[in-house]
Amino acid sequence: MRDHTPDFKMNELSADNKALIRQTAQQLLEKLSADGKLTAETQLEFWIEVPGVKRPRGTYRGGFLMPDSFIYISDYFQSDDQTSRTLQPGQAYVDEGFTLDNVWDDLLDELFYQVEIFTSHISTEKGVTFELWAGNRQRPEGEWIYAVDRKVELG
């Protein structure tokens, strides 16, 4: 069997970029939760644009945008109790005695890792655009039913 993994060196995100991504993700998920839209199917998706790299955004057969990557929010946060409308650790975290800070650390570690993969082939993060959505789709690749989004430039 042939290994199709690209040969690249991971470049760790700067502390400033990690802080910017953290702030953006927290704002989106807190807004989603406050709006009562956090469900078991809620996703956090992102798209990375690198200056000078030409590649069209992928689409599925139906013509929908295919994001670079997504994370199921229910892997980290509870989605069934919407009475408080604040983010609560998922049941697996609660069972292990972990706090909300532990949940954020895990989610952001995964998000940072995925962003680092998509930006690994460049020598600087300057000019890289990071677009993030949080919400629910009709299907994983379908149109958003409800979403909050933000686009930031990494530096």
Q: Which two tokens stand for residue 112?
A: 């940072």
In the block, residue with structure tokens 């379908």: 142
Q: How far apart are CA 82 and CA 71, in angstroms?
A: 20
Backbone torsions φ then ψ of 51, nearest 5 degrees:
-60, 135
Read off the pTM: 0.82
Per DSSP, 13 falls in state P
Q: Average pLDDT, stretch 113-118?
A: 85
The rounded mean pLDDT for the chain is: 81
CB 78 within 8 A of CB 21: no
Q: Which two tokens stand for residue 70?
A: 């997504």
Residue 47 has pLDDT above 80, yes or no: yes
Q: For residue 60, what pLDDT band results from cuts at 50, 70 and 90?
A: very low
Question: Higher-confidence residue: 51 or 132?
Answer: 132
Lowest mean pLDDT, pick from 1-15, 31-45, 56-70: 56-70
Question: Higher-confidence residue: 38 or 81?
Answer: 38
With a pLDDT cut of 90, the percent of the chain lying above it is 31
Q: Where are the domains of the chain?
A: 15-153
